[in-house]
Structure 1
């Protein structure tokens, strides 16, 4: 399995499919998943002639189950190490949920020429937790609840999330896929409990405001307005206002995991943005 080793000895697993001469698209997964969450999009864009790359964030999937470094600065540094190793130029970075935060944090710091465009899907920026500066955010008690559930019974928690709010399967009339639920569980349980615990703080309390302001490349912000994990009103519209070249695409009634539940909607919109 292809891996790179970072400065602190962490092994980062990655997939790299397609011709090296093609435009690279780098996919960044959400918590607590892995590169496998992008299988649909990777196959779609591979068949469209792109070079597709996805990594397992440290502590997730097939990467090292790290005790330390489970925060955005290190996540972004890991991405930089990967892009340097692969010598990517003019890449498009696509992040979902926590991965959207990782994209914002990396792209704001990327070496000149490395990044051409960025996409934030159901992403956590600007900041999730409620505060005086962010009155529309979620109370810290929500995230404390995530941590408590993870410690008490991670296996059950990692069934409850996809079976309910993540894919909108708790909505009346939802078309539930047991395979999708079990695949979410499989990916989650591959990672490390400590890293997943730490990552809750990383995705909920990191303030990406300055990152968004610093991004120079065209950035597409995609979000379902029935997102029960990263509420729409306190995320996508606020992010677009901070971006220099931001475009907002809102999906009526779609859930947090829209890339999985509605790839026939998401993929063509991504393709159009890539080609624009």
Structure 2
């Protein structure tokens, strides 16, 4: 399998297909680069080079017990882009991956980056605090921790319902999409997944967003039950200078899988624009 070895000895698995301008995909928790299947195949057909990695502790990368934090995720991404020699890259991040992209740009700058896209992304801060009253209370994330620790397999099966909006009246449920999510999740390491809950919920990306100096598209479904739009996209779009905000009425958190026919053309238009 194609991997890079980071400075702390972690093996990061990645897929690197095609030729042309590179598009780098950062996935959500607790998934893998396979979550971008519908986008990678589409952009390959449009003449782009597509790269997706499995975050440390996720998918086929090393099941790390340490380094499961946003700074290290961003550093891993910087090592990957450096070792692959990527220039003029478009970075697309979903959910936790959106935080990874924001921290990568805030921490390493945009020298290698042409554009950025944050989809259903966790920035600027998911946790409710005095300074962030619209966030979610710590009890929500403690519940996720309990679900992972007590019965990860069952918790991962059930969370697919709100993730894809399949708990809504009249929703057309795809058991294949649900099983694909579960399979990706169970490939990763429980320690890394447990630690990542703190990383995606308690990391404040405000200063990272302010540093982004490349054209940025922020995409979010307004029925996102995992990362509510009010405390995420609506705030991030004001912090990133010149950001474009695209809101999808009625779409869920996992909109890239449920509605690729909507998301992919919008991504292509932004990249070409």
How does 1:168-187 map onto structure 2 within 5 Å? 168-187=165-184
Q: How many residues align?
A: 273
What is the CA–CA distance in structure 1 between the aligned matches of 2:17 and 2:242, rounded to whole Å? 29
In structure 2, the partner of 1:36 is 34
* SS in structure 2 of the partner of residue 221 of structure 1: strand
2:197 is aligned with 1:200 = yes
How does 1:248-259 map onto structure 2 within 5 Å? 248-259=245-256
What is the CA–CA distance in structure 2 between the aligned matches of 1:112 and 1:89, rounded to whole Å? 10
What is the CA–CA distance in structure 1 between the aligned matches of 2:225 and 2:23, rounded to whole Å? 27
State the Cα deviation string for residues 32-60 of structure 1 (Å, max 9, x = none): 00000000000000000000000000000
What is the CA–CA distance in structure 1 between the aligned matches of 2:101 and 2:195, rounded to whole Å? 18
What is the CA–CA distance in structure 1 between the aligned matches of 2:107 and 2:205, rounded to whole Å? 12
- Following TM superposition, where does structure 1 have runs of at least 4 consecutive aligned residues deviating by more than 3 angstroms? none
Q: 2:231 aligns with which of 231, 234, 241?
A: 234
State the Cα deviation string for residues 138-173 of structure 1 (Å, max 9, x = none): 0000000000010000000010011x1000000011
Could you tell me which runs of 5 or more consecutive residues in structure 2 were left unpaired when the two chains were aligned: none
In structure 2, the partner of 1:209 is 206
In structure 1, the partner of 2:111 is 113
2:3 is aligned with 1:3 = yes
Could you tell me which runs of 5 or more consecutive residues in structure 1 were left unpaired when the two chains were aligned: none
Q: 1:271 aligns with which of 258, 268, 273?
A: 268
What is the CA–CA distance in structure 1 between the aligned matches of 2:237 and 2:202, rounded to whole Å? 19
What is the CA–CA distance in structure 2 between the aligned matches of 1:129 and 1:109, rounded to whole Å? 21
Quote how far apart the aligned CAs of 1:219 are: 0.5
Quote how far apart the aligned CAs of 1:245 are: 2.3
In structure 1, the partner of 2:18 is 18
Q: 2:162 aligns with which of 152, 160, 165?
A: 165
TM-score with structure 2 setting the length? 0.99
TM-score with structure 1 setting the length? 0.98
State the Cα deviation string for residues 159-192 of structure 1 (Å, max 9, x = none): 0011x10000000111100011111000000000
* SS in structure 1 of the partner of residue 127 of structure 2: coil
Q: 2:217 aligns with which of 220, 233, 243?
A: 220
In structure 2, the partner of 1:191 is 188
